[in-house]
Amino acid sequence: MKPGMHEAKAPKLYLGVHARLVFPDPRDEEAVLDLMRRFSSATRFAYQRLLEGKPREELKRADGPLCALFGLNTRYADGAIAKAKAVLDSALELGNDPKKVVFGGRKLFEQLKRKHLSGKPLEALKRRWKEKRQGLLYTQGDRSKKGGNPHFKLQVEGRALWLLVHLGEEEGQKEGERKKFARALVRTSHPQLNALLERIHSGLAHNAELTLKEGKVYAHFTWSEGLPPPVHTKENGVLGIDVNADPYHLALAVVGKDGNLIRHLTLSLEEVDRAPNKGAKELALWKVAHQVVAVAEEHGVAIATEKLKYLRKSRRGDGSGRAFRHKQHRFAYRSLLEKIHSLARKRGVEVLEVSPQDTSTIGMLKYAPGLSLSKDVAAAYVIGRRALGFEEKLPKGYEALLKDESFLREARSFYEARMAQLQRERKEEKNPYLKRRWSRELRRIQSALASLSSPWGSPGSRKGVTKGRNPSGAHPRRVLRVGLFLPLLGLEVPRDLSPLKPILHGSWEGWKVGSGPSPGGGPVCANVHFC
């Protein structure tokens, strides 16, 4: 490890149990609901103070505003601050304005603003809004305290599990003035219940959160455990994974430690798309995650995926088209990757993440035509090789092509003719949505022409992005992509890349290669389009 760097934290496995709480004494339930209301108000108050820059230590003091205004003790005050900070961090990470966060949910807030309901539907909406705003109570576990959580004590009596909820008074309050704990029966058949019982008997810490839904109180107990050391590592190779929206499937490529392709396959995600509800969709995603991890275990290799923090979100009116927006909105990439990562770590499979930059482009230019692979499997192969630290050099055939002035001239001629045609169509078009589509395509053409004007681009290194891998820079590959795909193959993202095979091996014979439209304008330009 380099000097000055922080030591990496050991990966942990987060588990939880969801349960319904039943209060034998109605007074206990009333006291807990009042505590949840005060805690929820304290969370919103803490959020505003965090926006103002108030420190956590000042807010959670016994004489601080949270304890004084909302009648909470310091542990509950600290829980309210933790919840407020989690909301703030989430807003910042998603790029949202933290000042516009709506506690209770913006969707419910907008529905209430519309004032389009009356009678029972309006009452139900108001109840949901009130429960979201006032139905929260949370406290973190403490290893140093007996039972693991002094404010949410779990006790086993016979065959029943009981929860004692601390009602929030300070330690100095006189005994007998007020009941200190509310008592509730925990009802659950969660598969992790035995693990929770083991923690109770061992006195290990657990976090607890109470929520309110449809007038019922629910509890969620969570804790973390250390993960087993990985057994299947990149020393034996890597399973590269690429998720694709059209067709909706998962592409897998098993890459040996020498960088060669051992096996490739695809797993359909159409079952996920056909799922009738969220629960069925989650089950389908977990099924796919088990299949992926099983392949990694079969070959004894690690799993490698892309680091995709931001996915493009289309909206109505941007010219992308209803069908394309539907494909993107059904795309469960992040959820599927989280499940694969979680399951793999539980099974002792090492998980690697690499930069997504140019993985598809490299795969389509180099490995799809060279090894007769689909573009998706080729991208998965690149991801696997990148995780192993292999460089992707530009093939000599493509190097020669980038130095061919006739290729660059004809490619520029194609885009100039296409630009002139789109400008005419945009000028005559009255539909504002189609105008936006033409404007978007024109911007892409302008970008393509800018790339073709300097085919070798900047020689910039990729060090720091992928830890020194692929230092040759990405500009030449992008020039090849804009110069070959649309002009030669007729699509920005073609499925059939076999016409590139002779070019890859240095047999460039001008624009007669392949069956795609020839560049340079004319009526054939209408046959090509951006995907």
Half-sphere exposure of 412 (CA within 13 A, CB side): 14
Q: Tokens 């079969």 sit at which residue? A: 298
- Rounded distance between C-alpha atoms, residue 154 and residue 195, angstroms: 13
pLDDT for 510:
59
- Kindly state the average pLDDT of the residues 69-94: 93
pLDDT for 159:
86
Considering only residues 299 and 275, tell me which one the structure prediction assigns the higher pLDDT: 299
Instruction: Give the contacts of 404 (CB within 8 A, at least 6 positions apart).
Output: 508
Binned at pLDDT 50, 70 and 90, residue 379 comes out as: very high
Binned at pLDDT 50, 70 and 90, residue 429 comes out as: confident
**Tens digit of pLDDT for each residue in 234-260?**
999 999 999 887 778 899 999 999 999
- Kindly state the average pLDDT of the residues 184-211: 91
Helix axes 26-51, 119-134, angle to 10 degrees: 70
pLDDT for 73:
93
**Tens digit of pLDDT for each residue in 459-505?**
333 443 344 343 444 478 888 888 888 888 888 888 888 888 888 88
Q: State the DSSP code for 273.
A: H
Q: State the DSSP code for 314.
A: -
- With beta carbons less than 8 A apart as the criterion, state whether 264 and 271 touch: no
- With beta carbons less than 8 A apart as the criterion, state whether 480 and 401 touch: yes
List strand residue ranges (DSSP E) for 167-215, in order: 181-187, 207-213
Cβ neighbours around 4 below 10 Å, total = 5
| pLDDT at residue 399 tops 90 | no
Helix, strand, coil percent content, the chain, rounded in steps of 5: 45, 20, 35
Q: Which residues pair with 264 in a beta bridge?
A: 253
Mean pLDDT check: name the lowest of 99-113, 343-357, 378-392, 461-475: 461-475
Closest by CA position to 469, among listed 355, 381, 336, 315: 355
CA end-to-end span of the chain, whole Å?
A: 45
- Rounded distance between C-alpha atoms, residue 60 and residue 82, angstroms: 10
Amino acid at 337: L
Helix (H) or strand (E) holding 265: strand 261-268
pLDDT for 400:
86
pLDDT for 468:
39
Give me the percent of the chain exceeding a pLDDT of 70: 82
- Rounded distance between C-alpha atoms, residue 437 and residue 443, angstroms: 10
User: DSSP string spanning 390-436?
Assistant: ---PPPHHHHHHHT-HHHHHHHHHHHHHHHHHHHHHHHH---HHHHH
Closest by CA position to 490, among listed 460, 466, 458, 518: 518
pLDDT for 240:
96
Greatest alpha-carbon span in the chain = 95
Closest by CA position to 407, among listed 484, 308, 292: 484
pLDDT for 508:
65
pLDDT for 160:
93
Q: Tokens 């490698």 sit at which residue? A: 304
| pLDDT at residue 40 tops 90 | yes
- With beta carbons less than 8 A apart as the criterion, state whether 257 and 266 touch: no
Strand 261-268 relative to strand 216-226, pairing: unpaired
- With beta carbons less than 8 A apart as the criterion, state whether 138 and 82 touch: yes
Alpha helices in 65-219 (DSSP H): 65-70, 74-93, 106-114, 119-134, 193-202
Q: Is 479 left (phi over 0), alpha (psi -120 to 50) or beta?
A: alpha
User: DSSP string spanning 64-96?
Assistant: SHHHHHH---HHHHHHHHHHHHHHHHHHHHTT-
pLDDT for 469:
41
State phi, psi for 478 to the nearest 5 degrees: -70, -35
Considering only residues 215 and 243, tell me which one the structure prediction assigns the higher pLDDT: 215
Binned at pLDDT 50, 70 and 90, residue 529 comes out as: very low
pLDDT for 94:
82
Mean pLDDT for all residues in the chain: 83
Binned at pLDDT 50, 70 and 90, residue 295 comes out as: very high
- Rounded distance between C-alpha atoms, residue 194 and residue 15, angstroms: 12
**Tens digit of pLDDT for each residue in 92-132?**
988 889 999 999 999 999 999 998 889 999 999 999 999 99
Token code pair at residue 177: 């003035």
Nearest-10 Cα torsion for 193, 199, 202, 207: -140
- Rounded distance between C-alpha atoms, residue 248 and residue 273, angstroms: 8
- With beta carbons less than 8 A apart as the criterion, state whether 197 and 190 touch: no
The C-alpha angle 449, 357, 388, rounded to 5 degrees, equals: 140
**Tens digit of pLDDT for each residue in 127-184?**
999 999 999 999 998 877 766 789 999 999 988 999 999 998 654 444 444 578 999 9
Cβ neighbours around 283 below 10 Å, total = 12
Considering only residues 47 and 483, tell me which one the structure prediction assigns the higher pLDDT: 47
- Rounded distance between C-alpha atoms, residue 349 and residue 352, angstroms: 10
Q: Which residues pair with 187 in a beta bridge?
A: 20
- Kindly state the average pLDDT of the residues 26-34: 96
Binned at pLDDT 50, 70 and 90, residue 10 comes out as: low
Cβ neighbours around 530 below 10 Å, total = 13
Q: State the DSSP code for 366.
A: I
